[in-house]
Amino acid sequence: MFGNKKLHHFDTLLSFGRHKGAKVTQVLNQDPTYLEWAYGTLEDFFITDGVWEVLKMHKDSKPLPYNQNKHEEKKRNYKNYRLKQYAKKIEKELLRK
């Protein structure tokens, strides 16, 4: 997980912590504060807009430490990361030819 930026959607299996191997959906239902912690604490933990909306509205959740602006900032960071990865991949392919 650490150093490996990953976008978590409802069916993503968590690869760390006490919920390792569980789907995001399961953790949303059983322990939403864990996802709040991960999203608010781990720089490399990203969630889809759908997961964000469910997490914001979950009955057991406390107010998220991240507001909508922070969510948008994390989305931009993930997008920039993916664009850089793609550019590196293309560059490698071009160098092989």
Residue 70 lies in a domain: yes
Residue percentage of the chain with pLDDT more than 90 = 35
Its pTM stands at 0.73
* 25-70 residue pLDDT tens: 999 999 988 998 898 888 889 999 999 988 888 765 565 655 777 8
- For the chain, what is the mean pLDDT? 85
Residue 54 lies in a domain: yes
Residue 10 lies in a domain: yes
Asked if 55 contacts 61 with a C-beta cutoff of 8 angstroms, the reply is yes
Residues spanned by the domain of 68: 6-96
Residue 1 lies in a domain: no
- What is the predicted pLDDT for the residue at 33? 87
Number of structural domains the chain divides into:
1
- What is the predicted pLDDT for the residue at 1? 40
Nearest CA-CA partner of 54 in 87, 96, 24, 83: 24
- What is the predicted pLDDT for the residue at 73? 86
The DSSP-derived string for 5-45 is -EEE-TTPBP-SGGGTT-BHHHHHHH-HHHHHHHHHH-TTE
